[in-house]
A = this chain, B = another copy of it.
Amino acid sequence: MLNVTIIGASGYTGVELARILCNHPDIHLRMVTSRQYAGKPLSQVFPNLRGKVDLLCENPSLEELCRSADLFFTAVPHKTAMDLVPQLRQAGKKVIDLSADFRIRDVAVYEKWYQSHSSAEYLQEAVYGLPELYRSAIATSSLIANPGCYPTSIILGLAPLLKAGAIAPETIIADSKSGASGAGRSAQIGSLYCEVTDGFRAYKVGGTHRHTPEIEQELSLLCDQDIKITFTPHLLPISRGILSTVYAQLRPGFTSEAIIQGLYENMYAHEPFVRILPLGNLPATQYVRGSNYCDIAFSLDERTGRIIVLSTIDNIVKGAAGQAVQNMNIMCGFAETAGLEMAPYFP
């Protein structure tokens, strides 16, 4: 049994990590930390966990932290992660970092979109934790930069097309819609029930959302060319789920549904958590809810020569906590699906 600690357990990603890990057969959840709720049982902060995770929230010293476990999930804001992760790595610990701090390979790009980076030397060590692209590197890594939620949905949706050269990369437009849990559990007026329910809006429009460089980095690597995309995030009145509708111009030779479907089915044939829908089916967030699945389908618009890719995940599972556990499973030699077998819940 591997000893595991969640640093930053009081956010929505933290509670989801606890929910998944409490049923994981190969690990022992040893500690959950939260400055805000230190001394309080996590199951009082999140009463759904009563009887499942009855640990107290702690605010430990680094030494206590290091004594607690061999693998750490750091579910803290960016900037905080940048300072914490190196300390854990220096103590020889495995780290799966759910912040953005180690996702961008080029420190200049990171510093342009976020702020100055205090531990840029770890950027090379970190592996971008998208198992469908980097499984073997993940297996031997000790530091995982767990992908962002929007990037996961978009990259998985486009990877087969970009690898095959099926689309013109400069025409990519990603119109993404996310549930409100993506905004986190902080007390802000814009996240109040009455502000979000029965409504819909875009935000960070025009290439200003910080997931943009992360998406572009991975798409550029896939097509071996430096690309820019248009990415528009929207806020859905749902708790969980992202659906990305991605547009691109098809290249000559890739205008048959069967060929495109083949690209998807081939690339993801053995992936436990990617479900390519049969032609004619479309995904919906409610069919991946609570699970680690990414459901993907596409449609060709013959009238305009475009492909429309639809890719959906549960933003706090495959888009955060579930993918983190999948990475842990790969790093530690567990069954890749361990702890992640839950079927999506519907209704």
Contacts and interface: CB of A to CB of B under 8 A. Distances in A.
Secondary structure at the A interface, as helix, strand, loop or mixed, is: loop
A114 to B, nearest CB: 17
A291 B148 CA distance: 28
A340 to B, nearest CB: 11
Interface string A226-251: 00111010101111110101010000
A105 to B, nearest CB: 19
B177 A177 contact: yes
A53 to B, nearest CB: 8
A225 B199 CA distance: 35
Given A187-B188, A192-B193, A239-B193, A230 B198 contact: no
A331 to B, nearest CB: 24
30 contacts: A44-B281, A47-B277, A47-B287, A48-B291, A49-B344, A50-B275, A180-B192, A180-B193, A180-B197, A181-B194, A181-B347, A185-B189, A187-B192, A191-B193, A191-B194, A193-B197, A195-B347, A197-B238, A199-B284, A200-B286, A201-B282, A207-B302, A228-B304, A230-B247, A230-B301, A230-B304, A234-B243, A237-B237, A237-B238, A342-B342
Interface of A: 12, 15, 19, 22-23, 44, 46-53, 170, 173, 175, 177, 180-181, 185-189, 191-203, 205-207, 228-230, 232, 234, 236-241, 243, 245, 247, 275, 277, 281-291, 293, 295, 299-304, 306, 308, 310, 316, 341-347
- Ranked 8 nearest A-B pairs via Cβ: A199-B286, A206-B299, A201-B284, A194-B347, A48-B344, A193-B196, A205-B299, A48-B346
